[in-house]
């Protein structure tokens, strides 16, 4: 019989608020240690928490995006933790009455089917500060800038069966949260942290002993760590051994997990209701208010792009990765008289290339939707060629000028003045009579020589289509 893997995830997401969960301190990242602190987040004697309503707004938004049941009545609890980076000696969190239950999201499977990953709950809690052990040799240092940062913890049901499913889910989850503005989900800044609970069992048997993996800082880490842990469980169990319930750390250098602490020796957190905060009441009015601010979710957008703009699935998938890029696409399409595929090609091709090269996002590139639309229209009405348009785009990025202005200033418009063309063409034919003879004797390809010459004479500005037309007309007159 084969092994079945059971995976549950716990994801801590930093809410994108300006200030902390229980005080007005800034959440700016990377400032001097302990510069964003006050009596409340320092846990000074006599200080009290005040709930940041903006954080609850974001939490509600997350719940709506994941189609959860938002609880009208929830409360905060204290979780006792003695650690220097936890200055109150407790973390304020939500234990038995979280603000949000159930919900989840659908993910595509590799076999083409899809699967609903169900959530158990989401709750609101505060983050701890940071202990820094490598700053001075004699001391450990504490930075409490992060203390009191608002988080939601998203807990899935143990319904994930492979590491790939886990990362697909996390990818989708992350995109939804970024889309909704719940969080910027920067993994490198610790704004999106995932722990995984892994166990294996034979089909039909009850759940095996699980281990919790921590310290996975990227999606590839998560996939590697889960796969490593599955293999380890199999190896132990197949040798007749027993999996100890414990927390394990992922060692990214050695590519293996190692035991951190046993679940047997688990701390007694002595939870009890936070007496300094009244219960959190989220009424329908509040939910409706947040709902009205909600943007379209990425996978609804993807479907719509395929249906509404007739885009290939692949294009839709690429465009929705970034909400701002998707909005940009739609703004461009609106200004180019249909032809969404043109817009998609430009954005997925040239625009994306520049974004990557300059490490910018679409808002800072300096080419707004109106300008790109103008450029695309200049190609569309044969004012410039595709090739020239790419150069114009580069100049637009460099100078911030509009496409039209650049084309005018540099005189890049294609030559379509036929009278001037006729005169150029006739001069060239007169100067080079040999191909004309060839042409007359039936070798139509001989005209190609004149096209080349005309283009050269116009320094590439002549419109090749018109050159062809006029040339044929003039040759036939001879």
Partner 1 sequence: MNLINLTAQEIKTKVLNLEISPLDIVEQFLNNIEQKDKTIGAFAHIDREYAEICANDLEIRLKKGEKPALAGIPIAIKDNISRKGYLTTCCSLSLKDYKGVYDATVVSKLREAGAIIVGTTNMDEFAMGSSCENSALHPTKNPWDLNYSPGGSSGGSAACVAGGLVPLSLGSDTGGSIRQPASLCGVLGLKPSYGRVSRYGLVAFASSLDQIGSFARNYQDLNLLTEVISGYDKKDSTSVQKDLNLNFDKDKTITVGIPEEYFSDGLNTDVRIKVEEALDYLTKNANVKTIPISLPSLKYAIATYYVIATAEASSNLGRYDGMHYGTRFDGENLTDSFCQSRTNGFGDEVQRRIMLGSYVLSSGYYDAYYVKALKVRRLIANDFQDAFTKCDVIIGPTSPIAGLKLNEDVDDPMSKFLLDIYTVSANLVGLPGLSVPCGFGDKNHPIGLQIIGNSFDEACILELARRFENAGHNNKIAEIA
Residue numbers at the binding site for partner 1 (CB under 8 A): 39, 42-51, 78, 80, 82, 84, 87-90, 142, 268, 270-272, 275-278
Q: Where are the beta strands (DSSP E) in 228-386?
A: 246-251, 256-262, 272-273, 280-281
- The residue (of 140 and 337) whose beta carbon lies closer to partner 1 is 140
Q: Do strands 73-74 and 246-251 pair parallel, antiparallel, or not at all (unpaired)?
A: unpaired
- The residue (of 91 and 199) whose beta carbon lies closer to partner 1 is 91
> Could you tell me if 168 and 9 are in contact, meaning their C-beta atoms sit under 8 angstroms apart?
no
- The residue (of 270 and 440) whose beta carbon lies closer to partner 1 is 270
The contacts of residue 127 (CB under 8 Å, 6+ apart) are 12, 14, 146, 147, 148, 149, 150, 151
Q: Do strands 69-70 and 130-132 pair parallel, antiparallel, or not at all (unpaired)?
A: unpaired
Burial class of residue 103 (count of CB atoms within 10 Å of its CB; 0-12, 13-18, 19+): buried
Q: Cβ of residue 269: shortest distance to partner 1, in angstroms?
A: 8
- The residue (of 129 and 181) whose beta carbon lies closer to partner 1 is 129
Question: What value, to the nearest 5°, has the Cα angle with vertex 387 and ends 383 and 389?
Answer: 55
Give me the half-sphere count of Cα atoms (radius 13 Å) on the Cβ side of residue 296: 16
- The residue (of 47 and 215) whose beta carbon lies closer to partner 1 is 47
Q: Cβ of residue 297: shortest distance to partner 1, in angstroms?
A: 34
Give me the half-sphere count of Cα atoms (radius 13 Å) on the Cβ side of residue 467: 23
What's the gap between Cα 236 and its chain centre? Answer: 38
Q: Cβ of residue 393: shortest distance to partner 1, in angstroms?
A: 53
Q: Cβ of residue 91: shortest distance to partner 1, in angstroms?
A: 11
If you compute the radius of gyration of the chain from its CA atoms, what whole number of angstroms results?
31
- The residue (of 96 and 409) whose beta carbon lies closer to partner 1 is 96
Q: Cβ of residue 228: shortest distance to partner 1, in angstroms?
A: 31
Q: Cβ of residue 199: shortest distance to partner 1, in angstroms?
A: 23
> Could you tell me if 180 and 296 are in contact, meaning their C-beta atoms sit under 8 angstroms apart?
no
What 3-state DSSP class applies to 298?
A: helix
Q: Cβ of residue 75: shortest distance to partner 1, in angstroms?
A: 12
In SS3 terms, 99-125 reads as: CEECCEEEEECCCCCEEEEEEEEEEEE
Q: Cβ of residue 48: shortest distance to partner 1, in angstroms?
A: 5
Give the integer Cα–Cα distance in Å for 202 and 214: 25
Q: Cβ of residue 44: shortest distance to partner 1, in angstroms?
A: 5
- The residue (of 64 and 124) whose beta carbon lies closer to partner 1 is 124
- The residue (of 135 and 255) whose beta carbon lies closer to partner 1 is 135
Q: Which residues pair with 197 in a beta bridge?
A: 8, 212
Q: Cβ of residue 224: shortest distance to partner 1, in angstroms?
A: 32
- The residue (of 84 and 452) whose beta carbon lies closer to partner 1 is 84
The contacts of residue 131 (CB under 8 Å, 6+ apart) are 83, 84, 85, 140, 141, 142
- The residue (of 82 and 116) whose beta carbon lies closer to partner 1 is 82
């Amino acid at each position: 019989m084969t092994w079945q893997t059971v995976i549950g995830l716990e994801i801590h997401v930093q809410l994108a608020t300006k200030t902390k969960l229980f005080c007005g301190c800034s959440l700016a990242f990377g400032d001097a240690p302990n510069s964003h602190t006050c009596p409340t987040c320092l846990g000074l004697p006599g200080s009290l928490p005040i709930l940041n309503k903006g954080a609850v707004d974001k939490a509600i938004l997350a719940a709506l995006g994941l189609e959860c049941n938002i609880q009208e009545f929830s409360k905060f609890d204290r979780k006792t933790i003695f650690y220097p980076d936890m200055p109150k000696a407790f973390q304020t969190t939500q234990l038995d009455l979280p603000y949000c239950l159930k919900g989840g999201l659908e993910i595509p499977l590799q076999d083409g089917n899809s699967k609903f990953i169900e959530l158990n709950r989401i709750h609101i809690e505060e983050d701890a500060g940071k202990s820094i052990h490598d700053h001075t040799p004699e001391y450990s240092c504490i930075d409490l800038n992060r203390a009191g940062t608002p988080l939601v913890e998203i807990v899935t049901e143990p319904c994930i069966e492979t590491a790939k499913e886990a990362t697909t889910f996390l990818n989708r989850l992350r995109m939804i949260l970024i889309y909704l503005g719940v969080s910027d989900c920067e993994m490198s800044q610790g704004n999106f942290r995932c722990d995984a609970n892994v166990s294996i069992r034979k089909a039909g048997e009850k759940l095996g002993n699980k281990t919790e993996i921590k310290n996975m800082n990227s999606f590839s880490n998560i996939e590697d760590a889960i796969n490593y842990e599955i293999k380890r469980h199999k190896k132990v169990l197949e040798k007749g051994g027993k999996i100890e319930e414990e927390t394990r750390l992922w060692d990214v250098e050695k590519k293996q997990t190692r035991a951190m602490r046993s679940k047997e020796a688990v701390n007694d957190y002595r939870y009890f209701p936070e007496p300094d905060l009244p219960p959190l009441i989220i009424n329908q009015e509040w939910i409706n208010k947040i709902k009205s601010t909600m943007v379209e979710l990425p996978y609804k957008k993807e479907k719509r792009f395929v249906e509404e703009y007739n885009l290939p699935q692949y294009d839709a998938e690429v465009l929705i990765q970034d909400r701002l890029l998707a909005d940009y696409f739609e703004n461009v399409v609106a200004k180019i008289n249909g032809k969404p595929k043109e817009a998609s090609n430009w954005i997925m091709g040239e625009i994306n290339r520049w974004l990557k090269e300059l490490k910018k996002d679409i808002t800072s590139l300096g080419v707004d939707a109106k300008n790109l639309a103008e450029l695309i229209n200049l190609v569309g009405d044969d004012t410039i060629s595709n090739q020239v348009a790419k150069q114009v785009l580069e100049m637009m990025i460099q100078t911030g000028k509009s496409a039209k202005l650049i084309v005018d200033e540099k005189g890049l418009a294609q030559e379509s003045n036929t009278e001037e063309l006729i005169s150029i063409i006739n001069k060239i034919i007169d100067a080079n009579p040999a191909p004309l003879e060839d042409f007359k004797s039936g070798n139509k390809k001989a005209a190609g020589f004149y096209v080349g010459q005309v283009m050269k004479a116009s320094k590439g500005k002549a419109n090749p289509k018109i050159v062809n037309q006029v040339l044929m007309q003039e040759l036939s007159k001879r």
